[in-house]
Structures are given as C-alpha cells and as structure tokens.
Amino acid sequence: MKTITFSLSSIFLLILFMSISIASGYAQHLSVNGYIVDSKTGGKIEAANVVELNSGIGTITDENGYFKLLLEKGPVELKVTDIKYKTANNGFVLRSDTVLYIGLEQKKDIKEYQTARTNDRQVALNDEVSEKKKRK
C-alpha cells in the first residue's frame, strides 16, 4: 500500500488559496437599485432603460419604475433613457449596496408624441402618423 503525505505548509497554502478565491468571487458584486421617476410629478416611469456604461449591464424599469443591477465595485456611469424624457447620466464610485431615486425631466416636444402599446412594446408615433390615420 502506497502512502501519500503532504507537508503542513502545502496544506495550509492550499486552504489559503481556496479561501481567497472563494472570497474574491463573492465580494465584488454589489446591488444598485432604485426608482426612476418624473422630476415634476414624482410619478413612476415604467419601461425606462437603465444601463451601466462601463460594463454594458442594463435593465428596464418595472411598472413601479423600479430597477436592480448587480455591478462590480468601482466607478459606475449609469445612463437612463426613455422616449418621453431627457436622458440622465449619473456617475459615482460604487463601494456598497446603493439605492437611487433618479428624476427625469420631460422633453419639451413631448406633445408631438403619442404612445401606443403593441405586443408589450412601447412605440412612439409622431403627429404625422396620427394625421395619416385621420385622413383614412
């Protein structure tokens, strides 16, 4: 029968390496979540796009204007867009789980747009399209 022996130092190094690997894999991702709202009315904005520009990770807001992203520690550059609102950029250094409330300002030409729901996609129709339908 063959006996395999390990020195105490090699076992210690193996355990140390495994501990560092596991800890580094879990500790890097943090939660960035919050609400996108209309800056004037405070109303929640559904289906707004929220993208972290450095990583390309993104999502859309739910019916309550809520979003959640899992990102790595460090510099974050959030871009929030919606067809009815001006784009918002929010940069910060992510050090811990973070909750944000981001207010969007309506576009001045919003009255030129009319929204419709088609297959759960929001489609912008300008006044020209509306005029064509009226003529038919």
pLDDT band for 18, please (50, 70, 90 cuts): low
Q: How many CB atoms lie within 10 A of CB 96?
A: 7
List pLDDT tens digits, range 66-115: 999 999 999 999 999 999 999 999 999 999 999 999 999 999 875 555 45
Position 26 pLDDT exceeds 70 = no
Domains and CATH numbers, the chain: 27-107 (2.60.40.1120)
List pLDDT tens digits, range 39-62: 999 999 999 999 999 999 999 999
pLDDT band for 117, please (50, 70, 90 cuts): very low
Q: 52 or 126, which is more confident?
A: 52
